[in-house]
Chain A
Amino acid sequence: MPMIDLKGLRFHYQQRGRGPDVILIHAVTSNLSVWLFGSLMDVLAGDFRVTAYDLRGHGASDAPVSNYTSADMADDLQKLHSALKLGPALLVGHSFGGVIAMHAALLHADMVRGIILSDPFFPGLAHLEPNLADMANWRVVRDALVEAGANLGRGLDFARLFEVVAALSPQQKERFSQKMGEPSLRWLSQLPRLASTSCGRDVFAPAGLTAEQLRQVRQPVVALYDEHTSFQATREFLATNLKNVCVEIVPGAQHVAPLQNTDAFVHLVQKHCRALNEAL
């Protein structure tokens, strides 16, 4: 398995193709398989050298106890970029992966040529999204856990989610699976490892990526928002405040476009990667 040591932490990564660099950044509680199950990696590899990696605490990468903010993870990305000797890259980030991409564009501007976001929520724009706990995907997970006899509480709280999942009995997991389907158990099984880390709290910290900082991003940004996104106010903020931005809608998707409408998502990312590459 391809692993790289970045100042004491080991990261799992994959590379495909040749050409200008594209880096794929997955969401919190996900891993790099999302790019393989959705075929994006092989499709982009026709035009680009594509690098995908597991964030700290995710997939097959190491899980340190702390430092899971978008600033920390943008630093991980910079170290990976440097260690693999990549050129200035297009970043594709799903959900929190998009937050990391934007933070990297500010903190390590030279390595970022352009950014494609997929339905991110920014902790620094939390004031625009007062009803986060009503987010549809979260409600579905919360309700399924309640039916399994576990209580997540009222707020959107990843730290609590990780702790609750770590404490689930086999019977509760079975009830959760009956409600959510078999694949949900595979997702669930990755979460207990994060219960002993600060990930759940850190990913909701603005970590310096404020509204004012987001306005300073100079690189071109393509903001792909899902048709049924919970983050319409964030989408509007980006559309009106970024210097160089294009917004497109992924039909039929609700925060997980890479898996919910794979064909449309892959088509849009490929189209915009090609366009950004030609324009830059």
Chain B
Amino acid sequence: MSPTDTVPAGVEEVVTTTPPVRPSTLLVRALRLWRTRIGASFGLLLVLVAILGPYLAPHSPTDFVAIPNTPPGGAAGLLGTDYLGQDVLSRFLYGGRGILVMAVVSTGIGLLVGVGIGLVAAYARNAWDDVLMRGMDVVMAFPEIMLALLAVSLVGPDPWVVIAAIAATTAPRVARVARGSAQPVVERDFIEATEAMGVSRLRILTGELLPNILAPMMVEASLRLTYSIGVISALAFLGLSSDPNGPNWGTMIQQNQIALAVQPWGALMPILAIALLTIGTGMFGDGIARTAAGVDRGRAEG
């Protein structure tokens, strides 16, 4: 038993031994659950705010609008001003895009690399399996935010450094689940049959194994996206974003936390936005997990 074989996450591990379900079918079935619908609507709402926000903002995010920390009303606008006298509403509308893009890109890279490593390890069935997975264990010995902090401390808070660090923490966790889900598939007869037909290894990995693990990978994707959003906004909150006064929900919280008692909106809006966005992706993922596992069996057999 390896130290990290247990699922650290809230979502139960799903191992499909039934024929693969098409992702679209799974999605439609999952949307019958209330939690999936609520999650999808929260997620969509915040994605819309993040993408369309900059077009709707009444001011530039860095314009001086009124005296710092003015509560809402009058010249200070719908949500008042922040610690520099900038418009909270405009900064809020601008502040989601960067987080969302970075989270999606880093999670995407992490998923691709992780699924690749997981499938290769599961199909190898030899020493490579052990070498790859022990390597993943080493990377997983760092809490998710640690690797990002290590990288940022040396290279600086460049967006690509953060993306690479988060992809590097995502990949091993994905690889573990991908390998776990692919292992029972590798043992099945149809894989042996395709091998006998002389199908290339790459085709077996992408054409035969991958479709069989799509359901757990969809669950994993939403789970990882949830964590990536958390880590990226946390880094900005710790003061580690490339633009110290850029409109970013994490940065906004850091800047306006001190004024919570006087003008709560500057910190409260981005706090609520991050909370709703992560609740959305989390509930959506849980809905898919429940649908993929069939009935709620507590924990799928591993």
User: Is A bound to B?
Assistant: no
B residues near A (Cβ < 8 Å) are none
